Structure 1
Amino acid sequence: MFSKILIANRGEIACRVIRTARRMGIATVAVYSDADRDALHVEMADEAVHIGPAPAAQSYLDAEKIIAAAKQTGAQAVHPGYGFLSERASFATALKAAGLVFIGPNPGAIEAMGDKIESKKAAAAANVSTVPGHLGVIEDAGHAARIADEIGYPVMIKASAGGGGKGMRIAHSRDEVQEGFDRARSEAKSSFGDDRVFVEKFIVEPRHIEIQVLGDKHGNVIHLGERECSIQRRNQKVVEEAPSPLLDEETRALMGAQAVALARAVNYDSAGTVEFVAGQDKSFYFLEMNTRLQVEHPVTELVTGIDLVEQMIRVAAGEPLALTQADVTLNGWAVESRVYAEDPYRGFLPSIGRLTRYKPPAEGVSEGVTVRNDTGVQEGGEISLFYDPMIAKLITHAPTREAAIEAQADALDAFAIDGIQHNIPFLSALMTHERWRAGRLSTGFIAEEYPDGFHATAPSAALARTLAGVAAVIDNVGNARKRRISGQLAGRPVVFEHQRVVRLGDLTLACEVDRAAGGFIVSFLDAEGRPLSTHELRSGWHPGEPVWSGVFDEEALAVQVRPRLNGVALAHRGIAVEALVYTRREAELAALMPVKQQAGSFKHLLCPMPGLVVSIAVSEGQEVKAGETLAVVEAMKMENVLRAERDATIARVHARAGDSLAVDAVILDFA
C-alpha cells in the first residue's frame, strides 16, 4: 500500500480524497494555484505545493508541474479526482514513465472510453444498446445540419471529449443545429482543448441513469447499482439519487450486465461509470463511459456502504477486489443536491465573492437518517471566477425515498450561506415539488416545471402562520435581549406589549406572544382580537444565529433568518419572505407609508454575471431584432449567449472581446 499520495485536483473532491486517505493512514499532498492559496484542501493535506497562476491551463492542467510536485514530495501515486486531468490517457502514461502510479484506470481504457465517438463504437461491438447517431467527425455546421436531417429532430450535439454539460446543445431545427454546433465547438475547445463534436438522436422525455462499475487489475469487474441524474439544468446535473425510482430489479440487472460487459471489453481496472439514457418505458441506450470518479458518487457509497475512493486506491496498489457481485446490496435511498454559487432568481447566473458566512447542517447519523456534506470551502473563503461554481454536495440517506427527500429538505433549510448568491432556495423548493416526490422525472424536468425560471412564491396559509410565528418569537427574544442592556431607559421599567402585527408581503397577521415553559405560545387573532389558532414554539435560537432551529407544534422546524429593519427575512422550503413585526400602533402608522417604486432601465445591456467577454456580435448603429445575439460571455467555464429582448438600434458598444466584466457592467447602449 502507498504511504503518500498526491491529489491532482482542488475543491471538494480533493478534500474528499484526503479524508479517505487519512482514514487509511496514507499521507497526502495537495497542489494549489494562486487563487487557491488559502483553500480548504491545502489546509487539510499533510503537504502542499504551489503549481502556478489561477487559470487551470497554467496550473491544474499542467501535467509536468503535477509530476514535479509528486517527485518533490516523495508521493508514490496520484489521484486525479474528476475533471482536469482525470480522463487524459497521456497523463496516466506520463505518470507511469515518471515512476508514479495513476489512481485510476489504465491508459488503454481511458483512450477507449474517453473519446465519445470511439466509445460508442466499442459499446456497439460489446453488444451494448446504443442511441442512433453519426459517430464520425463532423466537418462544419452545414455537415451537422445534413446529418441531423437524416437522423430526425430533435438531436443532441455533443463534444467528443466533453463532460459536465460543456460543449453540449439540443437542436430542434436546422437553424438551431448551426448555432448549437458553433457554440458546442467553442465550449469544447476552451474546456477540453478538443473541438470535435458528434450528433445523435435525442430521446424525448429521457431519463439519465448511470451504473457504477468497479474493476481491478486481476480481471474482476462488478457493478454497484445505479444512480438517477435526471434533474439537470443546461445538461448540468443538479440533483442525483440512488437507486432510481424508474428501475425494477430486471432492468437494473440488464443495465448492470451491459455496463460490466463494456468494462470487461476495455480491461477496466478502477471505479468508473457507464451512463445510459433511458426512456419512460425502461428502454435504455448507452450514452458514454466516464473513466473516473463521478461527482455524484456519494449516493452510491451511502446505499452500498462501499468507499469508492478507498477501492480506487487499493486497486491502484494492485490489490484484488475484496467484493463479488453477490456481496453488493442496495440499502435504503440517498439523495444528493449540488449547492452552486449562482443566483436562481436571475436565471441561475454565476455568483462569485467571499463566503462571509458558511454554516452547513450538522453531519452524522440520527434516527436512521444520515446527513453528509462534501465541500471544499470554509467560512471566509472565496468563490473564484476561474473554476466550477460548486460550493458543496449535500447528501442524505434514509430507509425510504420519501424519508431521504424529507431529510434533504430539512438539511437544506439548515444550510446557511452569505456573501454570495446560491441555489439553496431552488433546491429547497424542488424537494417539495409534487412531480419530483412522485419520481416522474426526465432530463427536461427543470425546463418543463420552471419554463420562466425560478421565482419567489407566496407561502401557503399554513406556512404563513408558521413563519409569522417564528418572526414574532424572534422579535420577542430580540426585545428581551435589548431590555437587559445595562442602563437602558435609566432604570425605568419597560412595559412589554404582548400583541404584535406581522406583515408578510401583502398578508397581515395579528398575534399575541407569551412565554411558556421552555418556549413560547403564539396565538393568532381575528379582527376583534379573538384567538383563531394557538401554537407552541421551542428553540434555543439566539440573536445573530442564521438558522432558527426548533419545534413548532411538536414538529421539527428549521428556518433561515436574516435581520432586517423592523423584522427579519425568513426562508423555508424554498419560500422566502420578509417578515415585518410591529406593535399595533406601529402597524397602523406603517400602513400609511407610501411604497417606494423602483425605476427600471431598458437603455442598456448589462452583464448578468461576472465573466469574460467571448465576443460582441453587433456594432454601433446596427439595428437588431428581438432574439438576435448581442454578445457571448463566459463565466465559470460556461458560455452564455445574451440576446436582444426587443427590436432596437445599437447606440454605443462599451465592451470588447477579452474584457473581464463585473456583474451589471454596461456592455452596450440602445438608442
Structure 2
Amino acid sequence: MRLVIANRGEIARRILRAGRARGFEVAVVSTPGDAGSPVRREADAVLEVDSFLDGAAIVEAALRWRARLLHPGYGYLSENAGFARAVEEAGIGFVGPTPENMLALGGKESAKAVARACSVPVLEALLSGELAALPPAAWQDALAGRGILAPYLVKASGGGGGRGMRVVEEPAGLPDAVLRASREALASFGDGTVFVERLLRSPRHLEIQVFGDGRGGGVFLGERECSLQRRHQKVLEEAPSSVADPALREAMGRAALALVRHTAYRGAGTVEFLLDEAGAFHFLEMNTRLQVEHPVTELAYGVDLVLAQLDLAMGGWPATLGDPAVFAVPAPTGVALEARVLAEDPRNGFLPTPGPLRVYVEPSGPGVRVDSGVTQGGRVDAGFDSMIAKLVAWGPDRASAVARLAAALEDFTVLGCTTNLPFLQAVARSGDFLAGRESTGWIQEHLADLNAPLLPAACLAFFRSTAFREALSMAFRGAGAAAPGPAARFKAQAGCPELRTGGAQEKEVFHLEGGPVLFTLRGPALRRMLDGPVAPGERGPGLARALAAAGETDPALPFRACRLEGAGMAVAVFGETLVLEDPSADLARPRVQAAAGGGVNAPMAGRILECLVARGDEVEQGQLMFVLESMKMQFEITAPRAGTVAEVCVEVGQALQGPETVAVLA
C-alpha cells in the first residue's frame, strides 16, 4: 500500500509514523522552500510541487507515484472539497471526509444551517450573502434586528486557526474589518468569504471529537477544552474538560452525533461549541479533518486516531472505537494536556519570530509525548506557520498531568529563535489554570502576569551580570573563564575556571564547566543566588529542585546556552530563556547610522502584501502604511508618529529577511 502525505511539519511526521506502523510505503509532498524539513529525509519518497495549495500538481504527483491513499493532514487543502473530489476521481483514496461532507460542514455558514436543522443551538449571525446584498451602512441595523449588538466578530467561513477573524468594538469599524478579514482568509485558504456573528466575550471553548462510518453511524470520543487562546488561536488544550460533567458531556456528544447522522459523515471530525457563563452551549463550527490537538484525545481515551483514519480508508471500521450504531458516553482514563510550542514572542505582542534552531532539545519521560516537525540545526521559516512542536503530557489525574506538563516545559530547550516556552511555563504554573478557571479571554486578561520574568530577581541579576556574561563568552571560545589575578588565571588554564562576580569575597566565586551547549554552574555564588528571596509565583519546578539541593556540599546548576548572530548569547535556565549581550563583542559591533527623520520598521521577516503610502504623503500617527504577511498571519504596520513620507523602501511582494526599515518619515 502506498500513502501520500500532502502536508509538512509535525503532522506529516505524525502521519508517517502511523503509515509505517501499517507497513505502508510513504511519500511526502514538499516544496523547494521546505527543502530542510526532516520529514523529507524520513519518507520513502518526496513529491516536490511549487505550493502545498496546488491541488492539481499534488494529484498529478501522487498518480505518478502510484499512490493508493492520500492523507491531507490539517490546514492547506485538508478541507477543500474540490481537492478531495479530484483525489478520489483519480482513483486515490482520500483519508478524510467525503466532498459532500466538506461542502455541508466545512464552511462555518453551511455548518450553521445543518446545526439548525438538527436542533443544535447556534449563535445568531449575518451571513456572507446578506452582507453582500446590503450596503455597509445597513449592516448595523440588520445585525440589531437579530439581536446582535456591538462588539461583533467577523469570521472567515472556511479555514480556521484564527485567520480571517476580527473583533469589531464599534459599528463604524465593520466595513474595514470585513475587508481585511476577507483578504486574510483569501490568502490563507483561497476563500475570502466572511460573515459577522455575536461575540461572546469570555466563553469556554469545548469541542467534541467524532468519528463517522460514512453511513450515518458514528462515535464520539469525549470533549477537549480549548479555552486558552490568544488572537483566537489555541495555546493549550486538555481532555477531558475540567468543567464538563457527565450530563454536559452527553448532551454535547448527542448534538455532535446529530450532525454526523444528518450528513452521513465519514472519518474524523471535530464539532466545536462555546459554553457561555450560564453553562449553555452554542454550536461554533465543525472541522472536517484531523484536529491539531488530537493527541490529548488519544492519550485520554487510549485510541490512535490516525491509524483509525487509515483503517477506515482501507474499508474497515476501527475496532478500537466501539460500535458506530450504539450511542455510548466514553470514560476517559486520566487527563492529557497539550501545549503548542511556537516561534513567537508573547512579550512582544506574540509577533512571529522565524529563525534558526541552534539548540533544540525535547523533553522525555513517563507520560510525555512530543510531536515535532523540526530538528536541531534547522530553522523556522517565515513562509510557513509558527508551529515548532506539540508537547503532550498525560497523568492519572489533572494535578499530575499539570505537574508533568510544567516539568516537561522547563526541560524543553529551543535557542536561536524566540519561542513561547516561558509563556507556556507561566500558564502551567498559574493558580487559575491549576484550578481550571479559564476562558477564551483569560490570557488577554492576565497577559502582564504571564509575561513577567520567571526567575527571581537574584537569579536574573546573576545571569545578566558582566562577570557571568564574560565567563560564558570565553567558554564559547574554549578559552576558559576570565579571572582576576594570576592565581585565578592559572586555575583557568589548568581546567578549573573560576570567576569572582565582584570584590574578593569567597561567596562571590563561581565555576563554569562544560560546553559547547550544556554547561554547569558551581560555587558559592550559586548557593548565594539560590538562597536569595523568592516570591511564590517565581518558584518553578526546576528552581524548587535547585533550592532543595542547595544544602549539598557542592550544588550544581546545569543549563544550556549558545551564541546568536551578532553580539547575542542565549541561555535556557529554569524554564526561562534569556538573551544576553556578549560584552566581548562590543568592539567588533558595527555602528549603524539611524535613518534621517526616523525609520518605520517591519517587526519581523515576512512578505509585503500592501503598500498604502507613497513618497511625499502626509501621515498621521497610527495611520496604516503597510500590511505584512508572516507565518500565515497578516500584520499592520502603522505610522509611529505624524510626518511626511520621505522614502518608501519596499514594494508589494517584496520578501523581508528580518526586522527591516520599510519607510522613512521626515
Query: After TM superposition, is the score higher than 0.5?
Result: yes
Q: 1:317 aligns with which of 285, 307, 314?
A: 314
Please give the TM-score of this superposition, normalised by the length of structure 2: 0.82
SS state at 2:299 partner: helix
Q: How does 1:237-252 map to 2 (within 5 A)?
A: 237-252=234-249
With over 3 angstroms needed to count, the CA separation of the structure-2 counterparts of 1:60 and 1:502, relative to structure 1, is farther
The answer to whether residue 275 in structure 2 is matched with residue 278 in structure 1 is: yes
1:303: how far off?
Answer: 0.4
Please give the TM-score of this superposition, normalised by the length of structure 1: 0.82
Shift of 1:514: 10
Corresponding position: 1:429 with 2:407: no
Contact 2:531 2:547 in 1 (8 A): no
**Residue 18 of structure 1: which of 13, 16, 19 is its match?**
16
Q: Is 1:190–2:182 an aligned residue pair?
A: no
Name the structure 2 match of 1:540.
none
Is the Cα–Cα contact under 8 Å of residues 148 and 155 in structure 1 kept in the other structure? no
Q: Deviations over 1:422-441 (max 9, x none)?
A: 22222222222233233221
Q: Distance in 2 between matches of 1:493 and 1:32?
A: 50
Distance 1:289 1:94, change over 3 A: same
Q: Work out whether 1:440 is the aligned partner of 2:442.
A: no
Cα deviation code 1:124-183 (max 9, x no counterpart): 010111012223522164454444444211111111123111111111111221221111
* 1:339–1:391 CA contact under 8 A, matched in 2: yes
Q: Map of 1:65-80 to 2, 5 A cutoff?
A: 65-80=57-72
Identify the match of residue 663 of structure 1 among 658, 662, 665. Answer: 658
CA deviations on 1:88-140 (whole Å, 9 max, x unpaired) are: 11222212211111111112111100121111011001011101222352216
Which amino acid in the other structure matches residue 614 of structure 1?
L
Q: Does structure 1 retain, via aligned residues, the 8 Å contact 2:569–2:580?
A: yes
2:625 maps to which residue? 630
Q: Is the 8 A contact 1:217 1:318 kept in 2?
A: no
The offset of 1:236, in angstroms, is 1.4
SS of residue in 1 equivalent to 2:185? helix
**Which structure 1 segments of 5+ residues have no match?**
54-58, 535-546, 582-596
Instruction: State the shift of 1:47 in Å.
Output: 2.0
Q: Is the 8 A contact 1:619 1:653 kept in 2?
A: yes
Give 2:383's aligned residue. 386
8 Å CA contact 1:303, 1:333 repeated in 2: yes
Change (3 A) 1:77 1:631: same
- Within the candidate set 101, 116, 119, 1:127 is matched to 119
Shift, 1:465, TM fit? 10
Aligned-partner residue type, residue 453 of structure 2? T
Measured after TM superposition, the shift of residue 335 of structure 1 is: 1.3
Q: How does 1:19-418 map to 2 (within 5 A)?
A: 19-51=17-49, 53=50, 59-137=51-129, 138-139=131-132, 141-150=136-145, 151-322=148-319, 323-324=322-323, 326=328, 328-362=330-364, 364-365=365-366, 370-418=367-415
- CA 1:243/1:557 → structure 2, altered by over 3 Å: closer, same or farther? farther
Q: Give the RMSD, CA atoms, in angstroms.
A: 4.0
Change (3 A) 1:513 1:165: closer
| Displacement of 1:558 | 8.4
Amino acid at match of 2:20: R
Q: Distance between the aligned counterparts of 2:295 and 2:264, measured in 1?
A: 25
- Distance change (3 Å), C-alpha of 1:20 and 1:433: same
Measure how far apart 1:482 and its partner are: 4.9
Matched residue of 2:266: which SS? coil
**AA paired with 1:606?**
N
| Distance change in 2, residues 1:458/1:241 (3 Å) | closer
The answer to whether the Cα contact below 8 Å between 2:415 and 2:572 also exists between their aligned partners in 1 is: no
CA distance in 2, matches of 1:548, 1:39: 35
Structure 1's 510 and 432: CA in aligned 2 closer, same or farther, altered over 3 A? farther
**Counterpart amino acid of residue 562 in structure 1:** A
One-letter amino acid matched to 1:121: A
Cα distance in 2 between the residues matched to 1:354 and 1:499: 31
Tell me the distance in 1 between the aligned counterparts of 2:495 and 2:70. 68
Q: Distance in 2 between matches of 1:312 and 1:619?
A: 53
Say which is worse superposed, 184-193 or 425-434, in terms of deviation.
425-434
Q: Deviation per CA, 1:601-626, whole angstroms, max 9, x where unpaired?
A: 88111011111112222333433333
Answer yes or no: is the 8 Å Cα contact 1:187–1:638 preserved in 2: yes
**CA deviation after TM superposition for structure 1 residue 27, in Å:** 1.9
CA–CA distance in 2 between the matches of 1:84 and 1:412? Answer: 29
CA–CA separation in structure 2 for the residues paired with 1:180 and 1:567: 41
| Corresponding residue of 1:459 | 455
Structure 1 residue 311: Cα displacement: 0.8
> Matched residues in 2 for 1:568 and 1:550: separation?
22
How far apart are the structure 1 equivalents of 2:435 and 2:594? 40
Match of 2:485 in 1: none
Cα offset, 1:494, TM superposition: 6.6
Structure 1 residue 263, shift from structure 2 partner: 1.3
- Give the superposition deviation at 1:634: 1.1
Distance in 2 (CA, whole Å) between partners of 1:643 and 1:272 is 40
Which residue pairs with 2:602 in the alignment? 607
When structure 1 is superposed on structure 2, of 130-139 and 94-103 the one drifting more is 130-139
Aligned partners of 1:122 and 1:29: how far apart in 2? 36
Unaligned 5+ runs, structure 2? 482-487, 513-519, 534-541, 584-590
Q: Does 1:616 find its partner at 2:615? A: no
> For 1:256, what is the secondary structure of its paired residue?
helix
What code does the residue aligned with 1:181 have? V
Question: Which position in structure 2 is the counterpart of 1:561?
Answer: 560
Cα separation, 2, equivalents of 1:619 and 1:514: 57
Going from structure 1 to structure 2, the CA distance change for 1:95 and 1:478 (only over 3 Å counts) comes to closer
**Identical positions, percent:** 36
C-alpha distance 568-293 of structure 1, shift in aligned 2 (>3 A): closer
Q: Which amino acid is the alignment partner of residue 108 of structure 1?
A: E
Larger mean CA deviation between 40-49 and 135-144 belongs to 135-144
